[in-house]
Amino acid sequence: MNHDAYPDNYIRAILNKVKTIAMVGASPLNVRPSYFVFKYLTERGYDVIPINPGQVGNSLLGKPFLASLKDVDRPVDMVDIFRASAHVMPVVEEALTLSPLPKVIWMQLGIRNDEAAAKAEAASLEVVMDRCPKIEYGRLSSEISWMGVNSRTLSAKRAPVPVKGMRLSLQRESVAGGDTAASDRAVKGRSETT
């Protein structure tokens, strides 16, 4: 796998198949990126488990913090790592002791450890480095363009109020997303011309 550029289909397939995500390095502070990602993914229907040994006894959005991956009481599909690159290998090594093995190791923006990635891939896990699942989900589901970001359109008009159960192009329901009609039409038009 070329970890410098991921095909959209690779990322989309991962986001569609994972259900349970263990977030290593999750923070209860609502100004930290891990908090935003945790909240966003939870609102999109993922079962996100906060892992942070310094927060055991506390909870994040109603979910109790666990000390390590070994403390998770159910199979984990993806391990999302919010730790510095130098601290990734022990997380991957711990993930490789789980039974069943997770399907994906995901390293957040700015985090890359090629040695840990190679070890995970040797065990048949998929790996994503230096990417954020929140950003990728928003980009691939067209949620980012609903808010006027990267839509090539400037507007003072507010986005539609989200409602529970809106269908997203990543086949998940949302309590915070918008309608996908425009993105569905764009994809349909593209597939008809190719």
- Sorted by where each begins, the domain ranges of the chain are 8-132, 142-193
The pLDDT tens digits for 39-82 are 999 999 999 999 999 999 999 999 999 999 999 999 999 999 99
Residue 179: per-residue pLDDT: 42
Query: What DSSP element (H or E) covers 64?
Result: strand 63-64
| pLDDT value at 188 more than 70 | no
Alpha-carbon span 75 to 125, nearest angstrom: 14
Query: What DSSP element (H or E) covers 48?
Result: strand 47-51
Query: What DSSP element (H or E) covers 79?
Result: strand 78-81
Q: Amino acid letter at 128?
A: V
The pLDDT tens digits for 108-163 are 999 999 999 999 999 999 999 999 999 999 888 877 654 444 444 545 555 555 55
Alpha-carbon span 77 to 116, nearest angstrom: 18
Residue 54: per-residue pLDDT: 95
pTM for this model (two decimals):
0.76
Q: Token match 């079962």: residue?
A: 47
Alpha-carbon span 128 to 144, nearest angstrom: 20
Instruction: Give CA angle at 40 (8, 61), nearest 5°.
Output: 150
Q: Amino acid letter at 27?
A: S
Alpha-carbon span 145 to 151, nearest angstrom: 5
Residue 150: per-residue pLDDT: 47
Which range, of 27-41, 84-98, 107-121, 160-174, averages the lowest pLDDT? 160-174
- Tell me which CATH code domain 8-132 carries: 3.40.50.720
